[in-house]
Every structure is written in structure tokens, then in C-alpha cells.
């Protein structure tokens, strides 16, 4: 064991780790001190202690605040991971001691929530009403770092190949495509068949430009020798998409699984446009080598069962799997 290992193992405390995370969050000694209920001199002294243990500067100080150095960023990741493990262990011990159910933290993309995550939580709650489920909505860029440091137990969303890594385990649950939506009273929902030329002239709400689904939608317009729409709001939030479609008469581009749920409730209409867009499957991502908690295992089992049930329901539906506006549908490969 190296000298620094001995020093860290014997002297590093949870309070030191909390300090590192607070400084990374607030990037200011005073605000970190307020959050930790300490004086600013006490925070400065504690940071100096941690830096002596590591033997390097972890944060740079200036009149604008504090910024983690390269070594500091590594230390912060370690601190987040340890604190997340400590919190999970503490909750598990309390749950066992009180006889209560445990807790699971789930990161979810929009595509997964309406059917998969919602259904799995309902299934979990039916068997363990006392279980607590924390759901964080977002995309891979925001949620995978939280999974890696232990703040999330699992992620449910599209298994984008570009994010595959040796430290991640993936499991495909189902395949789901995209569709176009509008307000139920939109002119295109009244029985007409929209042309791609008409669609290009309308206001849209689309995924951000870096999203693979957005790129493939733009390619669909190019296949029809059309420029992509220019009146566009970009968002990864379904709430923003839903609100813009409902209140501004925009055309939305969302996962079919989500659209079917809201169309069944009469809140939107799926347009009769068949998109030849292939996307990665929807599934699970967990951290390799980290055993899930008992509640995490239950949640994973519930997600698998919900996916099987959804696929059986979709495959068993007679005729057209999704009611569409009257009239002939158009195909983006035409």
C-alpha cells in the first residue's frame, strides 16, 4: 500500500467527501460553507486538509469562485461514488431494521417512461407498496455520469451504440419507432393526408440537433428533395413538446410508444405518416460489477415483465396497431 493510500484510508472522512461535492456543485467557498452549515474559514481549512492528504491542489481559487483541477475532478467523482454507496447502504440498513421496503433510483428517457417505467413502478408498488422509487428524467449525456457514480441504480432508454462502454451492461427490452403528432383539432387531424411539402412549411417541435432521431428525420425531408422545416423549437422534454403541440399547433416528433398512450386519452393525434427510421432498441443500462439492491432487482424484473406485456398487447392488436387520422397514409420512402 502506498503512503498516500495509508493517509487517505486513515484520515479521509465523509465530511471531506461532502465538501468536495459541495465545492463542485456551488463553485464558491461561501456558498459551499452555507450549504454545509460551516464558516468559510472552516471550509478553507478542511479543503487544505484534503489537499495535503492527496498532495496536490484539487481546486483553484479566484475572485470568480473555485474550479476543480484535473486531479480535483477525479477526486470529486470518487467522492460522489462513495457518498452514493454510503446513502444506499444506510437506506438498506434502515429498511431491514424497520421491516420496510427499500429504494431504487431510476434514470429514464422520455421514450421509456409512459409505458415501461410507469408500468414497472405500478407493478413494483403492487407487490411492495412501501418501496420508494426515485425517477430522474433526462438523456444519456446527463444520466450516465450519475449512473457511473452510483447516484442512479439503473437507466432505461434507447441503447445508443455510441455510448456503449466496458463498464456498462445493457439489455434490450423492446423496439419502438417514432411518429408525428399534432393537436386533435389541428387541420391535419381532420382526415386529410399531409404531404411532405405541407409538413415542411409548418411549425415543429423536434429533438435537439445532436439526437440521432432528429438527424434521421431531417434525412427523411432530404429524401423528398425538401429543406427541413425552419420554424423549429428544439427540446428533449416531452412536456415542452406536448405543450407546444397543444398550444401552438406545432407538429411533434416523438416515440410511438409515448404517442399511443396520449392518443388513447384523446390528448393528441398521430399523423398517418409512416417513418422509415431505424433507431436503437429501448432497454436497460446498469453498471458492470455493481450488484443491484433487492429493490433494484425487483424493479428490473418489473421492467422486463412490463416490456413483455406491452409487446404481447401490441402484437395481439387486430388490424392497424394504432388508430390514425382517416385517409391514406404517406411513407417517407416514397
200-206-211-213 Cα dihedral, nearest 10 degrees = -60
Residue 305 has what pLDDT?
96
pTM exceeds cut of 0.95? no
Whether residue 14 is contained in a domain is answered as yes
Please state, as a whole number, how many other Cβ atoms lie within 10 Å of the Cβ of residue 209.
10
Burial (CB < 10 A; 0-12, 13-18, 19+), residue 90, is exposed
In this structure, are 284 and 169 located in the same domain? Answer: yes
CATH code for the domain of 117: 3.40.190.10
Mean pLDDT of the chain: 85
Structural domain including 129 reads: 85-176+280-316
pLDDT classification of 323: cutoffs 50, 70, 90: very low
pLDDT classification of 14: cutoffs 50, 70, 90: confident
Which residues 6+ apart lie within 8 Å of 158 measured at CB?
109, 111, 140, 279, 280, 281, 282
Burial 216-253 (b: 16+ CB within 10 A, else e): bbbebbeeeebeebeeeeebbebeebbebbbeeebbbb
Q: Is the pLDDT of residue 325 over 50?
A: no
CA distance 287 to 152: 10
Q: Of the candidates 284, 287, 275, which has an alpha carbon nearest to the alpha carbon of residue 174?
A: 284
In this structure, are 287 and 140 located in the same domain? Answer: yes
Q: Of the candidates 242, 289, 294, 292, which has an alpha carbon nearest to the alpha carbon of residue 268?
A: 242
CATH code for the domain of 77: 1.10.10.10
Question: What would the grid cell of residue 228 be?
Answer: 427541413
Whether residue 267 is contained in a domain is answered as yes
The position carrying cell 434521421 is 216
pLDDT classification of 93: cutoffs 50, 70, 90: low
In this structure, are 258 and 289 located in the same domain? Answer: no
Considering its fold, how many domains does the chain have in total?
Answer: 3
Residue 1 has what pLDDT?
46
Amino acid at each position: 500500500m502506498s503512503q498516500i493510500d495509508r493517509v487517505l484510508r486513515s484520515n479521509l472522512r465523509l465530511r471531506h467527501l461532502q465538501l468536495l461535492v459541495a465545492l463542485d456543485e456551488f463553485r464558491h467557498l461561501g456558498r459551499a460553507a452555507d450549504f454545509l452549515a460551516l464558516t468559510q474559514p472552516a471550509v478553507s481549512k478542511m479543503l487544505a486538509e484534503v489537499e495535503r492528504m492527496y498532495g496536490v491542489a484539487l481546486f483553484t481559487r479566484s475572485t470568480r469562485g473555485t474550479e476543480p483541477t484535473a486531479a480535483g475532478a477525479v477526486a470529486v467523482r470518487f467522492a460522489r461514488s462513495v457518498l452514493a454507496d454510503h446513502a444506499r447502504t444506510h437506506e438498506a440498513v434502515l429498511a431491514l431494521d424497520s421491516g420496510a421496503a427499500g429504494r431504487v433510483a431510476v434514470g429514464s428517457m422520455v421514450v421509456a417512461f409512459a409505458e415501461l417505467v410507469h408500468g414497472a413502478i405500478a407493478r413494483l408498488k403492487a407487490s411492495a407498496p412501501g418501496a420508494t422509487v426515485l425517477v430522474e428524467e433526462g438523456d444519456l449525456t446527463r444520466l450516465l455520469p450519475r449512473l457511473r457514480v452510483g447516484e442512479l441504480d439503473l437507466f432505461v432508454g434507447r441503447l445508443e451504440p455510441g455510448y456503449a462502454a466496458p463498464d456498462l451492461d445493457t439489455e434490450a427490452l423492446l423496439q419502438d419507432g417514432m411518429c408525428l403528432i399534432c393537436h386533435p383539432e389541428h387541420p391535419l387531424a381532420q382526415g386529410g393526408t399531409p404531404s411532405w411539402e405541407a409538413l415542411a412549411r409548418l411549425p415543429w417541435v423536434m429533438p435537439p440537433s445532436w439526437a440521432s432521431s432528429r438527424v434521421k428525420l431531417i434525412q427523411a425531408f432530404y429524401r423528398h428533395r425538401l429543406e427541413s422545416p425552419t420554424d423549429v423549437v428544439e427540446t428533449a422534454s416531452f412536456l415542452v413538446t406536448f405543450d407546444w403541440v397543444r398550444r401552438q399547433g406545432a407538429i411533434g416528433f416523438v416515440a410511438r410508444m409515448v404517442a399511443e398512450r396520449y392518443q388513447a386519452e384523446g390528448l393528441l393525434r398521430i399523423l398517418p405518416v409512416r417513418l422509415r427510421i431505424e433507431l436503437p432498441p429501448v432497454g436497460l443500462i446498469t453498471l458492470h460489477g455493481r450488484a443491484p439492491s433487492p429493490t433494484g432487482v425487483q424493479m428490473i424484473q418489473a421492467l422486463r415483465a412490463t416490456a413483455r406485456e406491452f409487446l404481447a398487447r401490441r402484437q395481439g392488436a387486430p388490424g392497424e396497431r394504432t388508430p390514425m387520422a382517416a385517409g391514406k397514409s404517406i411513407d417517407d420512402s416514397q
